[in-house]
Amino acid sequence: MFSIRKVATLSLGGLLLAGVLSSCSGSKEEIIGVALPNTSTTLNARIGEAVEKSFEGKKVQVQSADNDVSTQISQINGFVTMGANMIVVVPTEIEALEETLANARQKGIKIVVSGASAKDDAYDAITNSNEYLVGSYIALLGKHWVEENLAGQSFDTLILCSDLNEDGIARSNGMKSITEKTLPNGSPNPAYCELVANNPVHTGTMGLSQTGNELISGYLTQYPNIKLALVYMSGVTPGISQYIVDGNYNNDEYAVFSGGVQGNEQDYLIGSISDTEGIKSVFRGAVSFGGADAAQGVADLAFKVYNGAEGVDYQKQTTETIGVWYVADGKLACFTVDGEAVKDFDPKSTLADANTVIKWPSN
């Protein structure tokens, strides 16, 4: 299990008071603001911690918006009033924040945005990922598992998609590529799985408020032969896995793969190998932002922006690497991939690759 130190949050009033006191005292203290959508997920909490560590000696203020965009706008404005030198933002809804971020930049504050696309005047540097590639690697993980475990069997596949924005659609299309022989550029698709394509495939759309239990229970009732699920968002995958485990199914015949490792998903990935901390799971792989250590990647970019010159020490738009998490030979591994197209890999031989981090068991 992760050990997470609680990240301190400040009220807007506290930020304003601190700004007034700083101004009155003539302090030149350098201030870094970190605006997070929440600190309840492991990834967000670790981003706050990584920025604090990277900017040791400076005043780092970490705030959680509790997933409310209005709160996050107020917090960003509070950092501006406080006289922050930089604001690192993991947005709740980037479109709603763009004007506020642009106004902050006009006041000379550097803005770093993680995991979104925004108008050019709203940031100094931004990380965004190739969502189709994320979906393609989810499909590739599913392909490898099916070929190892379900060859010669009849089974159904469920693909749970998102249509809320362009990024969601792109990732969903990447997952759907498991049944497509070629990539959009016409080259052979390593994620294509003939076994999946030759069996029934059901595509559904996820709602924002639906739980994993609700989603999978309905589909398994309608299509009881579903054995493989590819899921847009990792937040619901523990619930999907738990429903199957609690339903007295043969766990060895089921697998769930998804995008993201933000909260307790690592525990469930480990739980698919070994009964760890009481967790049993059929969640067997995921594709996350930022490679093997997404939080440190955000902190590293912020450090470059703060200390470097644009176009020299950092790129205004940085293509975020992705991390492929999977279980093989009793281990939970993660390796970082770059590039514009999905590349095949052998899960077992990749365990020995220098680019692969063994997440469990810990050394």
Q: What values do phi and psi take at 283, rounded to 5? A: -85, 110
**Distance from C-alpha of 131 to C-alpha of 142, rounded to nearest angstrom:** 17
Report whether 79 contacts 87 (CB < 8 A). yes
Domain boundary among 90, 123, 156: 123
Q: What is the pLDDT of residues 164-208, one digit of tens each?
A: 888 889 999 999 999 999 998 999 999 999 999 999 999 999 877
Which of 123, 141, 168 represents a domain boundary (last residue)? Answer: 123
Report the C-alpha gap between 115 and 129 in whole angstroms: 7
Residue 1 has pLDDT above 60, yes or no: no
Average pLDDT over residues 275-296: 86
Please name which of 41, 53, 125 lies closest in space to residue 88, comparing C-alpha atoms.
125
Grouping H, G, I as helix, E, B as strand and the rest as coil, residue 256 is strand
Are residues 143 and 97 both part of a single domain? no
Same domain as 115, residue 42:
yes
Sheet with 255-259, side-by-side order of all strands:
201-205, 156-161, 226-231, 255-259, 283-289, 322-328, 331-337, 356-360
**269 neighbors 2 (Cβ within 8 angstroms):** no
Q: Which domain holds residue 181?
A: 131-291+321-360
Q: Share the mean pLDDT of the chain.
A: 88
CATH number, domain with residue 76 = 3.40.50.2300
Q: Phi, psi (5° rounding) for residue 27? A: -65, 140
Dump pLDDT digits (tens) for 113-171: 998 888 999 999 998 888 899 999 999 999 999 999 999 999 999 999 998 888 889 99
Q: Could you report the per-residue pLDDT of 315-334, keeping only the tens digit for each? A: 887 877 889 999 999 999 99
Same domain for 102 and 144?
Answer: no
Query: DSSP letter at 51?
Result: H
- The whole-number pLDDT of residue 363 equals 54
pLDDT of residue 338: 78
DSSP 58: S
Residues 272-299: what's their mean pLDDT? 87
Domains: count for the chain:
2
Return phi, psi of residue 102, to 5°: -60, -40
pLDDT band at 24 (very low <50, low <70, confident <90, very high): very low
Tell me: do 145 and 286 sit in the same domain: yes
297 assigned to some structural domain: no
Q: Are residues 263 and 285 in the same domain?
A: yes
Q: Is the peptide bond before 361 cis (omega within 30 degrees of 0)?
A: yes
Q: Are 261 and 41 spatial neighbours (Cβ–Cβ below 8 Å)?
A: no
